[in-house]
């Protein structure tokens, strides 16, 4: 059982189409694992999953999705300052 479906995550992030489904699914798995570790109990053990946990998973998935290029993005102007 997952706390957040792929369709709900895509709706939350306003993503259309299926091109990003595999990536979003990966982020969902990672976000649920992270949240489960944070609360000290696997998300799969929660029945029903509280709304605040679902929102935490959605926000974390959205963060992962929106910031996926930050690790590789380093503008030349910042390189000079480093």
The answer on pLDDT for 65 being more than 70 is yes
Listed in sequence order, the DSSP H helices in 1-82 are 6-13, 21-39, 51-66, 76-81
Please give the DSSP secondary-structure letter assigned to residue 40: T
* Confidence (pTM): 0.81
pLDDT of residue 32: 97
DSSP state of 73: -
Tens of pLDDT, residues 24-48: 999 999 999 999 999 999 999 999 9
């Amino acid at each position: 059982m997952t706390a957040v479906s792929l369709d709900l995550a895509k709706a939350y992030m306003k993503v259309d189409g299926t091109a990003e489904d595999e990536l979003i699914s990966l982020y969902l798995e990672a976000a649920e694992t992270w949240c489960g570790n944070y609360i000290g109990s696997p998300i799969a053990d929660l029945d029903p999953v509280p709304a605040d946990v679902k929102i935490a998973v959605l926000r974390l998935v959205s963060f992962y999705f929106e910031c996926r290029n930050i690790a590789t993005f380093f503008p030349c102007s910042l390189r000079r300052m480093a």
